[in-house]
Amino acid sequence: MRVLTVGGAGFIGSHLTERLLAEGHTVDVVDHLGTGSLANLADARQAGGPLKIHTLDAAAAEFDSVVAMREPDVIYHLGLLPPGAPAEHTAAATLASLMSVLEAARRQSARRHEGVKVVVALSAVSLYGDVPSKDQPIKESQPWNPVGVRGVVTRTIAELLAAYREHHAVEYTALALATVYGPRQRPDGGVVGAFAHALREDIAPVVHGDGRQTRDFLYIDDAVDALVRAALKGSGLVINVGTGVSTSIRDVWDMVAGPSGRAPAASPRRNDDVSRFALAPTRARIHLAWAPWTDLSTGLRTLHR
């Protein structure tokens, strides 16, 4: 299978690239290296295999030529608003990148009889907004009630995917990932990455709010497994990928740092933060035959290796 990953040099993308190559697929990575890094792909490049890296913004005009030349069966769009980044500064770039992918997939299908079989894109839990405890863990049937710019952009991603499927027959699967963590995560890429960095540097981590807000933490290998499966199943759906278990930010720091860890530094809660969430992977079990297998304590131990 020929696969193109937009954002393939990032945290999630580099792990996905390694898995795809290990399974014998041909992989093209498209990444402008804004938050991604070629260092993330060092193991993949050293292992050999059919890997080609294009240092390119997917929103650039040249992207269509890459798709036409490389003829991917599957395109992964892994570009989401980075956690903590001002959404108003990155929303336009995120949507422009997705539109470029969808247009390239549409044109490629017109050029070739088979064309791009499916676009697999990331969604985010901000799609659902701040869901009451009684409705947790969140099922896909939960009404969309996005919070802030980040949530509205996430809803727009889902709606664009559905529109291209309806009007242009571009198949898609959208995965709403829980809070992904693991090796190679940047300090500004998520709370666990920030905590791991604080522990290594022996500095106090910054916690937005009081630390009692909860998240569903998903280990990178489990997330990648769902992404790989989504290339073959689940077309036309938004699918939750999570553990169904919520853990407070404060408790995660205690697990990472242990009893001798520094006390976190308090910071105001961000406007688009939700109070709590856990995702019920109902559709993932049915449509992807997927289930998580890495519990939080096991996943966090990999950060100390």
Cα dihedral sign, 83-177-99-20: positive
In which region does residue 55 sit, left (phi positive, over 0), alpha (psi from -120 to 50) or beta (all else)? Answer: beta
Predicted structure pTM score: 0.94
Q: How far apart are CA 231 and CA 217, in angstroms?
A: 23
Q: How far apart are CA 215 and CA 122, in angstroms?
A: 18
Per-residue pLDDT tens digits for 128-175: 999 999 999 999 999 999 988 888 999 999 999 999 999 999 999 999
- Residue 125 confidence (pLDDT): 86
Q: Considering just the CA atoms, what is the radius of gyration of the chain in Å?
A: 19
Helix 220-230 × helix 11-22 angle, to 10°: 60
Residues 6+ apart with CB under 8 A from 251: none
Structure tokens at 126: 């901000």
Residues of the chain with pLDDT under 70: 81-89, 113, 234, 260, 305
Q: How far apart are CA 102 and CA 118, in angstroms?
A: 10
Per-residue pLDDT tens digits for 1-22: 999 999 999 999 999 999 999 9
Q: How far apart are CA 157 and CA 95, in angstroms?
A: 7
